[in-house]
């Protein structure tokens, strides 16, 4: 078990919920009994004394205050939407360094937090989906890439060109990339427009960099992923496939961008969908 933020949320939810439950079952009735005993003593109980007896312990007050909030955050992050930050340029030009994105957590099934056990099938990744997953070689690290191959696909990548099941994926030249901020070093790269399934997207290719050749078949329960920045992405060409159990969700929106190298917030990117 990775002692990460979801684990902390689960533990905090259990502790605060348990304290609240123990108070409701044991401590609160005891306080009421003590107050009733004081009131029965001639009816002359001191109001301040009654208030002191009925007062909830500080631990209980904090537990009752934080439990609903922590539970709501846990449910939201585990089953609906989770935020992530893009730390590298491997998905340029689709995603830039400093993009803060939202990930749909139920697109590929409902999974229990921490143990990541799938309890409900709702869908599978499709070619062209931008997915967040736990890096197979270090599950404590989250990666984001584009799905290129689904189970059973024959994937070939050579001479900067992608082939799926012996069919060439067309690339339409779309000019030269002009980078800004942390992506300035990619200026001059070729922009090429691809279509995977129903998804049209741009990729970056640097002609002077020798591409990594790949020829493989995607096994059952796995996916072949690549970064849109084809010559600057650590992806399935180097370390293999993404198991289904490593999937976190599908990226669908940019909700903020902050790149200090570009001067701060890129207001024009806020609210952009991810294709």
- Tell me how many degrees the CA angle 46-51-54 measures, rounded to the nearest 5: 125
Catalytic residue among 32, 65, 78, 90: 90
Structure-block tokens of residue 4:
């990460």
Query: Is the Cβ–Cβ distance between 95 and 254 less than 8 Å?
Result: yes
Residues 6+ apart with CB under 8 A from 71: 13, 17
Q: Is residue 55 flagged as an active site residue?
A: no
- What is the crossing angle of helices 58-75 and 5-22, to 10°? 140
Query: Is the Cβ–Cβ distance between 94 and 274 less than 8 Å?
Result: yes
Catalytic residue among 145, 182, 233, 236: 145
Q: What is the DSSP letter of 273?
A: B
Strands 161-164 and 222-226: unpaired
Burial 79-100 (b: 16+ CB within 10 A, else e): eeebebebebbbbbbbbbbbbb
Q: Is residue 182 flagged as an active site residue?
A: no
Known catalytic residues?
A: 90, 145
């Amino acid at each position: 078990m990775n002692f990460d933020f979801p684990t902390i949320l689960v533990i905090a939810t259990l502790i605060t919920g348990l304290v609240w439950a123990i108070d409701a079952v044991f401590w609160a009735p005891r306080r009421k009994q003590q107050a009733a005993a004081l009131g029965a003593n001639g009816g002359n109980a001191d109001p301040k004394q009654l208030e002191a007896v009925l007062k909830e312990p500080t631990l209980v007050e904090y537990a009752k205050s934080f439990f609903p909030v922590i539970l709501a955050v846990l449910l939201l992050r585990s089953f609906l939407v989770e935020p992530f930050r893009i730390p590298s340029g491997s998905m340029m030009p689709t995603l830039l360094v400093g993009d803060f994105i939202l990930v749909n957590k139920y697109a590929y099934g409902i999974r229990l937090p921490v143990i990541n056990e799938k309890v409900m099938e709702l869908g599978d990744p499709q070619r062209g989906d931008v997915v967040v997953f736990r890096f197979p070689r270090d599950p404590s690290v989250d990666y984001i890439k584009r799905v290129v191959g689904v189970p059973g696909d024959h994937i070939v990548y050579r001479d900067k060109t992608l082939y799926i099941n012996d069919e060439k994926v067309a690339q339409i030249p779309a000019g030269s990339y002009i980078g800004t901020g942390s992506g300035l070093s990619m200026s001059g790269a070729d922009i090429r427009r691809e279509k995977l399934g129903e998804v049209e997207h741009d990729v970056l290719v640097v002609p002077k960099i020798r591409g990594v050749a790949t020829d493989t078949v995607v096994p059952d329960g796995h996916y072949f992923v690549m970064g849109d920045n084809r010559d600057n992405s650590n992806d399935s060409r180097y370390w293999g496939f993404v198991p289904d159990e490593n999937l976190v969700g599908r990226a669908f929106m940019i909700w903020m961008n902050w790149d200090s190298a570009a001067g701060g917030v890129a207001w024009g990117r806020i609210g952009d969908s991810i294709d």
